[in-house]
Amino acid sequence: MQGLTEKEFREIRELAYRSFGLDLRPGKEALVNARLARRVQELGLGSLSEYVEAVKADRTGEELERLINALTTNHTSFLREPQHFALLRETVLPPLRGRGGVRIWSAGCSTGEEPYTILFTAADVLGAERIGALELLATDISTRVLDTAKAGIYPRERLEGLPPGWAQRFFQKGEGRWEGSVRVKREWRARVEFRRLNLMQDFSHLPRFRVIFCRNVMIYFDKPTQERLVARFTDRLEPGGWFLIGHSEGLMGVRHELDYVKPAVYRKPSRSALGGGRSV
């Protein structure tokens, strides 16, 4: 297959933006070509234009899923951006010990390290007698990373730097062909609901959450898409709920109804004094 043409890049860019909000800006041509060339060859197609038509013609949605998996990057780790988990431990969770139910959503959960870290932190704070009050939803657009998250199997070195006792409490060591790996114990895996969700589609059917994590996801979206998405996330927050984004992100120039707390941390006002919105 020859190199990516300007027309082909435009077609891929429009398809990615329309389907899942990915903003492929000029300069990403080489990345797109490298990630899709093999699939074009596997299908016996002669160009990326033909591949775009194949994706559109596939009524099962499987080829679009392959496209999503190829173009999105899934980098994460346990305790990534630890300031957020310190916030959970010290500020967000302690007042909730007496509540009947606590909902947290990990939006864009990738291979599962984020929701499992949320769960383990909550287990430390709430204790064995209260952890059952936690409802933890973890979503991603990619079925590939969700399969990894549900399995809960990771290289043993991923546990380096975790708090004392976490490895023994929450993980089991692999044996035989799984030597060198660890797995989140079954009883802890069962406490996370993993679900496929495209954030560009309606999620108003979801309940309201005390905390929503959406970290290192919106960097792939343009400002109008970010603004619409933040508004929809805000609607799914309880009054006084927390919205956490990646430290490399920000809501600069995005109109929203949230109070700024500190970098990468926002909060929905406790009372509905929601007016014309803020832009910071």
CATH code of the domain covering residue 240: 3.40.50.150
Same domain, 176 and 243: yes
Strand bridging mode 237-245 / 134-140: unpaired
Q: Is 124 a catalytic residue?
A: no
- The pLDDT of 248-258, averaged and rounded, is 89
Q: Is 38 a catalytic residue?
A: no
Those residues whose C-beta lies under 8 Å from the C-beta of residue 37, and which sit 6 or more positions away, are 1
Task: Look at residue 20 in the predicted model and tell me its pLDDT.
Answer: 83
- The pLDDT of 53-72, averaged and rounded, is 85
> Domain residues for 12?
6-71
Among residues 23, 35, 130, 158, which one is catalytic? Answer: 35
Task: Look at residue 149 in the predicted model and tell me its pLDDT.
Answer: 97
Lowest average pLDDT, out of 6-10, 168-172, 196-200, goes to 6-10
Tokens describing residue 89: 């431990």
User: What is the DSSP secondary-structure string of 6-49?
Assistant: HHHHHHHHHHHHHHH-----TT-HHHHHHHHHHHHHHTT-SSHH
Same domain, 155 and 235: yes
Among residues 39, 140, 215, 236, which one is catalytic? Answer: 140
Model confidence, pTM: 0.84
Looking at the domain assignment, is residue 223 inside a domain? Answer: yes
Number of residues that this document lists for the chain = 280
Last residue of a domain, one of 48, 71, 94: 71
Same domain, 164 and 216: yes
User: CA angle, 102 as apex, 225 and 121 as ends, to 5°?
Assistant: 90
Same domain, 16 and 39: yes
Contact assessment for residue 212 and residue 237, using Cβ atoms and an 8 Å cutoff: yes
- The pLDDT of 212-231, averaged and rounded, is 92
Contact assessment for residue 122 and residue 84, using Cβ atoms and an 8 Å cutoff: no
- The pLDDT of 104-120, averaged and rounded, is 96
In the predicted model, what is the mean pLDDT of the chain? 90
Task: Look at residue 280 in the predicted model and tell me its pLDDT.
Answer: 46
> Rounded to an integer, what distance in angstroms lies between the CA atom of residue 120 and that of residue 182?
15
Same domain, 127 and 246: yes
- The pLDDT of 199-203, averaged and rounded, is 94
**Confidence check: pLDDT of 1 > 80:** no
Same domain, 130 and 248: yes
The domain that holds 36 is classified in CATH as 1.10.155.10
Looking at the domain assignment, is residue 1 inside a domain? Answer: no
> Rounded to an integer, what distance in angstroms lies between the CA atom of residue 100 and that of residue 97?
9
How many independent structural domains does the chain possess? 2
